[in-house]
A and B are shown apart, each in its own frame.
Chain A
């Protein structure tokens, strides 16, 4: 299957700082990538859809100025959590689509904001 990587796998930061998470498709080109957030014992929540070369589409209730998404190439999308606060602590997972509708997930990034 297709391989998606994420970096870093774990980050701890102080409140008010910004954190950047990278998502890469390693063996295929992904015109579309997705960013999800998952709180403990809950299902995945789609935050935004990232299309190469264009602005991301955010889901209702997700602040686009807080969660900055850049999809500059066919293999890389980044999510920047700006001015992070403790309530932003969560498991952030990206996915990439290699066929019209099959998504493969990265290993996730666990963010802890102190």
Chain B
């Protein structure tokens, strides 16, 4: 079983819709969780991090964490074509462990 799992996608949403990206992890002792965005040919860019159960909002982005279910998600409201990228979930287990990424496509 992979330590951090994401649907590879592609996930396609229309412009203006909410994009929902999901991630599960296997290590119950994980304490911090990260979402990175990676455009094709570029390096990852940190979007958000979350440590506590519940929601954390930053602009159009909301990270949600449920440690009991070992689940972390990222919601993107009012999706824009510029949000089209691969989104990487990462879990800190001593070192960052990345999921394989979900490709998001926002259609105009």
In the bound assembly, the distance between CA atoms of A105 and B32 in angstroms comes to 17
Given B32, B43, B88, which contacts A108 in the complex, CB threshold below 8 Å?
B43
Nearest-CB distance from B10 to chain A (Å)?
A: 12
Asked whether, in the complex, the Cβ of A101 is within 8 Å of the Cβ of B43, the reply is no
Contact A102 B49 (CB under 8 A): yes
Min CB gap B54→A, angstroms: 19
Indicate if the CB atoms of B44 and A44 lie closer than 8 Å. yes
- Binary flags per residue of A25-49, CB closer than 8 Å to B gives 1, else 0: 0000000001000000011101001
A34 adjacent to B95 (CB under 8 Å): yes
User: Residue-by-residue, is B82-104 near A (CB-CB < 8 Å gives 1, otherwise 0)?
Assistant: 00000010001001101111000
Q: Please tell me if the beta carbons of A43 and B92 are within 8 angstroms of each other in the complex.
A: no
Report whether B98 and A44 are in contact in the complex, using a CB–CB cutoff of 8 Å. Answer: yes
Chain A residues, CB < 8 A from B25: none
Closest to A106 in B: B43
Q: At the interface, yes or no: B35 with Cβ under 8 Å from chain A?
A: no
| Complex CA distance for A44 and B101, rounded to whole angstroms | 9
A92 to B50, CA, bound (A): 27
Q: Across the interface, do B95 and A43 meet the contact criterion of CB distance under 8 Å?
A: no
Q: How large is the interface on B (under 10, 10 to 19, 20 to 34, 35 or more residues)?
A: 10 to 19
**A103 in contact (CB, < 8 A):** yes
Residues in chain B near residue A58, CB distance under 8 A: none
With an 8 A cutoff between CB atoms, is A107 at the interface? yes
11 contacts between A and B (CB under 8 A): A34-B95, A43-B100, A93-B44, A101-B31, A102-B32, A102-B34, A103-B96, A105-B36, A105-B44, A105-B45, A107-B43
In this complex, what residue of B is CB-closest to A102?
Answer: B49
Q: Does A61 contact B (CB under 8 A)?
A: no
Once the chains bind, are B43 and A49 in contact (CB under 8 Å)?
A: no
Closest Cβ of chain B to A89, distance in Å, is 14
Q: Nearest residue in B to A43 (C-beta to C-beta)?
A: B100
Counting chain B CB atoms within 10 Å of each CB, the highest count among A49, A93, A102, A103 belongs to A103
For the complex, is B28 an interface residue (Cβ under 8 Å from A)? no
Task: Check: B46 CB closer than 8 A to any chain A CB.
Answer: yes
Q: Is the CB of B88 within 8 A of A44?
A: yes
